[in-house]
Amino acid sequence: MTEPPILVWLRDDLRLADNPALDAALARRRPLVLLWLLDEVSPGIRPLGGAARWWLHHSLSAFARSVEALGGRLVLRRGPAAVVVPAVVEEIGADTVLWNRRWGGGEVAVDRELKSGFAGRGVRVESFRAALLHEPTTLRTGAGTPFRDITPFRNACLAAGTPRPPLPAPTALPAWPGAIASDRLADWRLLPTAPDWSGGIAATWTPGEAAAAARLDAFLDEGIYSYDRDRDRPDRAATSHLSPHLRFGEISPFQIVVALAARAERADPPPPAARDKFLAELGWREFSHHQRFHAPDIADHNRHRRFDAFPWRDDPATLAAWSRGETGYPLVDAGMRELWTTGTMHNRVRMVVASFLVKHLLIDWRAGERWFWDTLVDACPAANPASWQWVAGCGADAAPYFRIFNPVTQGTKFDPDGTYVRRWLPELARLPAAVIHAPWTASRSVLDTAGLRLGRDRPLPIVDHTLARTRALAALATLGTGD
């Protein structure tokens, strides 16, 4: 009698290497069915934004090709997990379901419900650590409470010990020989069509496990060496560009940490300061997921409840100007153009444009978070809201609200020659560096030489920085001091 197949339910782990659920299934030497489910309807599950849907389409396509090359098959289904996963188990007669753990509130609830239901039917369920170096149930403060500050959280991560080594990729996948229906990826309509705005994204990114590995290698060969010095410079290619690959699990944090450690053993190792800074950024990702686990409503509610009374302005026209990159501040507008064109934005610039929205314009951080959710290819349900709350001053270990970025001085400090601004605002390309971050200060002759007419070719600033800062501090003063 043929043994029943094992169902491997894949989620944000679209990779063959270092995939613990897949590795455990292969160790049982039985036929496998690999399932990927598009669930946009279960309670607490946030549907993907447009740019992330583009990424998912191409990531699934790449993963399916890799699976097929090893003799396996990826089954696609759509619908609520509580209905679809048990239906697939019954269709194939599986007695074992394996998956890698996920930590969003709605996701945890779905997984617990499924585990409970399968236990009553005699179906074995096992889950594995794959997406985080340190899972939210394993780290607590000395008082037994969740961490609210990043520094003690990072210290706890370091004290927890060395991450496990990555698991090797399989060389073959024993596919179940039975018949099972699968959706057509094209029928999910994840790609934009009317209009197709993804040309710049496609020119910038290659989704998939192979591309993720290549990105990591390129970064560790070059970018890591100056990471601590140059990571805040949007005019330089100094960051890893791994965030969307991590978001969809095309690479694991274990693979990154171990590869970084291996580079430290070379004859020309990266400087410790650069290595530590990069690990700190991985720590922020971990901290964001811990926040989301302990506060599942992080995308909708302030962590510091006193901000519930903040006097946000309802100003659709100004929000639209910010979204289109028409604020009149070159660094802000360049960032928003980069986002719309490529589906990403340099991290330093993300902080500046977010600060501008919530402090210069007094528009609710949730409006900006939703715009990023729809336009970022790396829109992470943990890091995106956690980062917005950090900037807005209402999140865990947040920057103080009174710390208000000046977009002009941020530009002159981190894009001193105007290279980044010229790349994304070519209408300013002929301005000298001395005025490129504040074109309204340029003389008429400088503007004429640059062929620039403010108010026509580029908008004037929609708000004065000094007045905006005064207004923001006055709004802050209306709040109490409690949490």
Residue 483, pLDDT above cutoff 70: no
The reply to whether 388 belongs to the active site is yes
The reply to whether 365 belongs to the active site is yes
Residue 181, pLDDT above cutoff 70: yes
Q: Identify which of 186, 202, 189, 197 has the alpha carbon closest to the alpha carbon of residue 55.
A: 202
CATH of domain 305-477: 1.10.579.10
Q: Helices 272-294 and 150-159 meet at what angle, rounded to 10? A: 110
The reply to whether 281 belongs to the active site is yes
Residues 437-449 pLDDT 10s: 999 999 999 999 9
pLDDT the model gives residue 42: 95
Q: What pTM was estimated for this model as a whole?
A: 0.96
Mean local confidence (pLDDT), 13-35: 97
Dihedral in degrees, nearest 10, Cα atoms 116, 121, 123, 126: 10
Mean local confidence (pLDDT), 106-130: 96
CA distances from 320 to 219, 315, 323 (A): 35, 9, 5
CA distance 109 to 94: 22
Bridge partner list, 100: 128
Confidence of residue 436 (pLDDT cuts 50, 70, 90): very high
Bridge partner list, 126: 98
Residues in the chain: 483
Going 116 to 119 to 121 to 125, the CA torsion angle's sign is positive
Mean local confidence (pLDDT), 267-272: 92
**What CATH fold (topology level) applies to the domain 6-131?**
Rossmann fold (3.40.50)
CA distance 459 to 442: 14
CATH of domain 132-165+208-294: 1.25.40.80
Count CB-CB contacts under 10 A for residue 220.
20
Marked catalytic residue, from 365, 373, 390, 424:
365
Mean local confidence (pLDDT), 49-71: 98
Marked catalytic residue, from 135, 281, 326, 427:
281
Is the distance from CB of 165 to CB of 289 less than 8 angstroms? no
Q: Identify which of 318, 409, 396, 298 has the alpha carbon closest to the alpha carbon of residue 362.
A: 318
Marked catalytic residue, from 284, 326, 427, 440:
284
Confidence of residue 480 (pLDDT cuts 50, 70, 90): low
Domain boundaries, the chain: 6-131, 132-165+208-294, 305-477
Q: Long-range CB contacts (< 8 A, 24+ apart) of 82-85?
A: 82/42, 82/110, 82/113, 82/114, 82/117, 84/37, 84/39, 85/7, 85/9, 85/35, 85/37, 85/114
What single-letter DSSP state applies at residue 177? -
For the chain, what is the mean pLDDT?
95
pLDDT the model gives residue 267: 87
Confidence of residue 159 (pLDDT cuts 50, 70, 90): confident
The reply to whether 347 belongs to the active site is yes
Marked catalytic residue, from 103, 340, 373, 388:
388
Marked catalytic residue, from 312, 326, 427, 440:
312
Marked catalytic residue, from 91, 135, 347, 427:
347
CA distances from 177 to 5, 8, 432, 433 (A): 9, 15, 67, 65
